[in-house]
Structure 1
């Protein structure tokens, strides 16, 4: 990296906030993408840690003038190689953009700097008796800006949807250096093209989010967790649409195959409470009164018995609920050393039984197996591609393509929440036609004429 570039960044953000020593920079070059699958980062980079949107605008303006690529880094929790620089770059870390969190109770909104972590946001709202924010992608080290540009999901999507449903306003530094404000604290806003929506899920390729206003929701005081067990995958998956058809909308409906639950529990030194059956449906309820909570629990247990459930249990105490959720939330952690990748396809919920059958059939075709878990209430299934003798199997690209093709045949998607990044980009043509991809490339060109921002993410 040229010394004049490093010196210019020091002039903008201060010498203490510019890192060019590789021994101190290594952790900024990779995200959580599986080590055996991720591309090798370019080490000829410099990290800068600006403290304001204005500093970021100056950095981007300078990078445009010098035609130096920029890679934006949030919490580094992504797993599709979306934050790994592949060419000499300025790595812009947003970790210092974490000073401001402002709750607006009257409008049920909160405005935060992009570098605020989910953990910090939740801690701020823990002191508020009235309001909460529902999106939780699993890693509380994720930054809010990163959650927005990746359109984060998580377990609560059945009732509350994903990140896109909760973003009301953004402050953004465009790839050409301008600082703009999009959206507002409005329920209705119908003026012009909605540029804010392009930023949400844009994976940082169209702009750097520096501040966001998010919707908040009234807290419900009573929660409970049900674990309903079935003998077969088909019976478990087929039960889920019946829940929603009855007009019951839980906070979350999760699918977990018993071998996974037992392995994760063992890994954590815990015990999975369900004993009968082979597959479990975990249902999290969050209600305004205790009577409503217990009424819905009874209704769900009764309904499950009609659809061949073999057992059910209710976790009423906070401790028991936390135990179950912790096991469910640490699936990837427990399998980290044995999997090449965890996929995140999604299909319309009515086709979940079909796609689970297809995933198992395709894996068997390649002489291997897959295990499934996921957010079944919104059709999002995570399944594993396992390592073979500690190595990524040579058939991984072909098998992934078949997994994706199966999902697309039901009107699904290759990625429900992890994003495109660089790992999924090679499969874009499976889901989109040439004209659709050309439009995306055109949008990138309009926003980023010099192609400096998060180059190679989503589109070339």
Structure 2
């Protein structure tokens, strides 16, 4: 790494530390970080441009890092090189008249939410942990529980400032919702996980503030009844969120939160959030039609927070016991069938599988728990689950991204798309310095 001294003439260089070696990827499947790398913390696109010109000329890998909240190893430096942190890119201003936030890539979700709120606006999707950054959420096309009504990160990116591998600075889009001006280069970078360019600034669409919420908690005897209910509700209205949990997931949420769910009866449980009380009433009626064991309406913030806490802490209650977090996405009407068949596969492999997720958009989160000699069979088990999801017209990741942990399956299950992705990668980054080994290889 004799190039470090030369890099130091361009920007401040910091030594590697453990805080830059890992993200939130479960450790059993996380890639091994490189032993030697340096950290740079540019403040703007011009500094990023100088760093990338140097890295490109010297064929040095560059790994972009935002909040480090990713779950697919996308921010982990897997080769000797440079970790480029966006932590200093925290400028944010709001164009109130056009409802647009102008954000540096390092602005956190909490900062974006709080700033929008101060201007009587909102960023409704809330697609990640509060410490997730705008650049990282764009790079992974983050989703979250509100995607059913308000979409994913892709639906909020109106403009981008991006630095390419050779140092060129692109300014894409603007402050308009509509844009039919040729190829949508913006949407190539959304979800590209730092492999095509480095996002430095973004123009983010804001909405009016959300209305008061009504939360329903509804247990059902079977997953089939619950998902049939989801399908009918989704055909008649758009809840803010429409979540499902199997009984085992509810019990984990109860244990870690210290709260009690409305009932332990039933195989499947729905958590629905509405901005309209009238919609909540109609959803309650539909739930009863599909055999709900109980329909519990939480109208006070304290009661709502109690239920949301149970759902929100399931992962925290499992994180020390899991191999990884799977996040396939299937057509919503197929969730129950996918759930049944995935449990059959799990039983065949002797895997204890915990399932819950976003019923309204079909994004299924599954936690395979650690078992004896898991390394000998787990990846075959996982491949069967991913193939099952694809067989229903689904995808292998709904919101966590490919990173380094699903590149093999992406190539095998979507070979034509994968070849085109590789060609796009080569066009934008012919030296292959940007986040090498991630998404495509």
Match for residue 140 of structure 1? 130
Q: Distance in 2 between matches of 1:324 and 1:11?
A: 54
- Is 1:260–2:249 an aligned residue pair? yes
Question: What is the rounded CA distance, in whole Å, between the counterparts of 2:59 and 2:375 in structure 1?
Answer: 38
Which blocks of at least 5 consecutive residues in structure 1 are unaligned? 288-292
Q: TM-score, normalised by structure 1?
A: 0.93
Deviation at 1:226, TM superposition (A): 0.5
- Is residue 168 of structure 1 aligned with residue 158 of structure 2? yes
Matched, 1:344 2:327: yes
1:218-277 deviation line (CA, Å, top 9, x unaligned): 1233111100110112211221101012x2110000001222122222112222233443
Q: Is the 8 A contact 2:164 2:170 kept in 1?
A: yes
Partner of 2:38: 46
Deviation at 1:83, TM superposition (A): 1.2
Unmatched tracts of structure 2, length 5 or more: none
Instruction: Give the number of equivalent residue pairs.
Output: 441
Q: Does 1:126 align with 2:124?
A: no
Cα displacement string for residues 105-155 of structure 1 (whole angstroms, at most 9, x for unaligned residues): 2212111000000011112123232x2112223411100000001000000
Aligned to 1:82: 74
Counterpart of 1:217? 207
Aligned-residue offset at 1:202: 0.4
Q: Select the residue among 396, 399, 403 that pairs with 1:414.
A: 396
Aligned mates of 2:285, 2:179 — CA distance in 1? 44
Aligned equivalent of 1:325: 308
Q: Distance in 2 between matches of 1:108 and 1:50?
A: 28
Q: Counterparts of 1:223 and 1:242 in 2: how far apart (Å)?
A: 21
| Stretch deviating more after TM superposition (268-277 or 233-242) | 268-277
Matches within 5 A, 1:147-296: 147-245=137-235, 247-287=236-276, 293=277, 295-296=278-279
Secondary structure at 2:353 match in 1: coil
Residue 31, structure 1, aligned to residue 31, structure 2: no
CA contact (8 A) 2:124 2:210 kept: no
Within a 5 Å distance, the mapping from 1:11-30 to structure 2 comes to 11-14=9-12, 18-20=13-15, 22=16, 25-30=17-22
Instruction: Tell me if structure 2 keeps the 8 A contact 1:138–1:329.
Output: no
In 2, are the aligned partners of 1:122 and 1:133 still within 8 Å (CA)? yes
The partner residue of 1:452 within 424, 428, 433 is: 433
- Between the aligned partners of 1:194 and 1:407, the Cα distance in structure 2 is 28
Contact between 1:13 and 1:51, CA under 8 Å: does it hold in 2?
no
* Contact in 2 for aligned 1:387/1:393 (Cα 8 Å): no
Report the TM-score, using the length of structure 2 for normalisation: 0.97
Find the aligned partners of 1:248 and 1:442 in 2 and give their Cα distance: 41
The Cα offsets for residues 320-345 of structure 1, whole Å up to 9 and x where unpaired, read as: 11121122112111101111011000
The separation in 1 between residues aligned to 2:76 and 2:209, in whole angstroms, is 38
Residue 354 of structure 1: CA displacement? Answer: 1.1
Residue 81 (structure 1) shift: 1.0
Task: Measure the CA separation in 1 of the matches of 2:351 and 2:179.
Answer: 51
Q: Name the structure 2 match of 1:116.
A: 107
Residue correspondence of structure 1 range 336-375 to structure 2 within 5 A: 336-375=319-358
Which SS does the other structure have where 1:30 is aligned?
coil
